[in-house]
Structure 1
Amino acid sequence: MTVKPNQLDLDAIIKVDKIPAAGRVVTIETDQEQREALAERLKVSEVTDFSAKVTASRFRGGVRAQGQVKGTVIQPCVVTGDPVSQDIDEPVDRIFLPGQDAASQATAGAEIFVNLEDDDLPDYFEGNEIDLTDLVLEVFALAIDLYPRKPGAELPEGMAGDDPAELSPFAALKALKKD
Structure 2
Amino acid sequence: MPDNFTPEFSRIVKTDEMVSGKEKLVIEANEKERAELAKRFELVSIDSLRAELEVKTASNGEVTVRGPMSAEIVQRCVATLEPVPETVEDTVEVLFSPHVSEEDMPSNPDDLENLSEAELMALLEQPEPLVDGMIDLGEVVAQFLAVAMDPYPRKDDAELPDSIQTEEEADADKPNPFAQLADLKEQLEKKK
Q: Provide TM-score, normalisation by structure 1.
A: 0.71
| Matched-pair identity in % | 25
Q: Compared with structure 1, are the counterparts of its residues 30 and 139 closer, same or farther at alpha carbon in structure 2 (3 Å cutoff)?
A: same
Shift of 1:20: 4.2
| Unpaired segments ≥5 residues, structure 1 | 106-112, 167-174
Distance 1:6 1:114, change over 3 A: same
**3-state secondary structure, aligned to 1:138:** helix
Q: CA RMSD in A?
A: 3.0
The residue matched to 2:155 in structure 1 has which SS?
coil
TM-score (ref. length: structure 2): 0.67
Is the contact made by 1:94 and 1:122 (CA closer than 8 Å) also made in structure 2? Answer: yes
What letter corresponds to residue 133 of structure 1 in structure 2? G
Higher helix share: 2
Asked if 1 retains the 8 angstrom alpha-carbon contact of 2:9 and 2:139, the reply is no
Identify unmatched segments of 5+ residues in structure 2: 106-117, 172-177, 179-192
- Counterpart of 1:87 in structure 2 is 87
- Residue 24 of structure 2 is aligned to residue 25 of structure 1: yes
Q: Distance in 2 between the 1:86 and 1:43 partners?
A: 14
Counterpart mapping for 1:1-179 below 5 A: 6-10=6-10, 12-21=11-20, 23-59=22-58, 60-101=60-101, 104=104, 114=119, 116=121, 120-155=125-160, 159-162=164-167
Per-residue deviation, residues 91-139 of structure 1 (Å, max 9, x unmatched): 011100003349739xxxxxxx959479732101221222222211100
Q: How many pairs does the alignment contain?
A: 153
Quick one: structure 1 residues 36 and 114, their matched pair in 2 at CA, closer, same or farther if it must change by over 3 Å?
same
Q: Could you say which structure has the larger radius of gyration? A: 2
> Which letter does structure 1 place at the counterpart of 2:138?
T
CA contact (8 A) 2:24 2:52 kept: yes
Query: How has the CA–CA distance of structure 1 residues 65 and 82 changed in structure 2, closer, same or farther, with 3 Å as cutoff?
Result: same
